[in-house]
Amino acid sequence: MTVIKTTINIDEKVWEEFKRAVNSKYGGSRNLSKIVEEAIRNYNVVSMLRGSAKELGIEITELPSSSEVEAKRPTVDEGSAKVIRGMRDEREARVLGQ
């Protein structure tokens, strides 16, 4: 793995709070780069999915795009509000013995 050095601009208060949190959790900020990299990895959903799949022994060659996921999303005949209303009405009838 190649490591790069980079410069980023972060609000000073946010950075200080982050460093305090790292100091509190790890007892120091010696591994600050490692913690920032971990935070970036956790933000990167594709990386998380690949890591989870690897832990489960699943081989992933290609992940679908957001538009592909949306296009294949199942549809329903009635809205959730109508279904919930029906469930509430059924429960009311059971509770009140009607």
Reported as a single tens digit per residue, the pLDDT across 17-72 is 998 988 888 887 788 888 888 888 778 888 788 888 889 998 888 877 778 888 88
Residue 59 backbone phi and psi in degrees, to 5 = -95, 125
Nearest C-alpha neighbor of 5 from the set 31, 33, 39: 33
Is this structure's pTM higher than 0.85?
no
Residue 39, pLDDT score: 84
Round the CA-based radius of gyration of the chain to a whole number and report it: 24
Q: Which of 2-6, 12-16, 39-43 has the lowest mean pLDDT?
A: 39-43
